[in-house]
Structure 1
């Protein structure tokens, strides 16, 4: 089970036909992730069944938000 939140905000501005700027901010965050897995493994020795391993994995993870800021300028010099 995983829940996340994502957002984006930005703007651009054209000063004239030769110069423009822009900014974009992105936020993403996996709010909560949990997992449960169970599996069996058969161990063989000399090609014959030797043992069986019963395994379970449980995970509960929380993460920090990821931020990205992009800024650009497009224009002609001279």
Structure 2
């Protein structure tokens, strides 16, 4: 599968796919000067995804801004 299609299918950039391949999580090969993604390894990568969980960074930042605003009014 061509890199652009693999990027579109997986929802991540080609740079991210190259990074994952460099760490051993994805198989790439060359054919006629083009970098291709091994379809089975891309399917395995997508299947191994982790569930998204929201962080509390936004709430913590809002609380800190509120605290700073309250302190400046005193």
**Higher Rg of the two aligned structures:** 1
TM-score (norm 2): 0.26
Q: Which has the higher contact order (CA 8 A, sep 6+)?
A: 1
TM-score (norm 1): 0.25
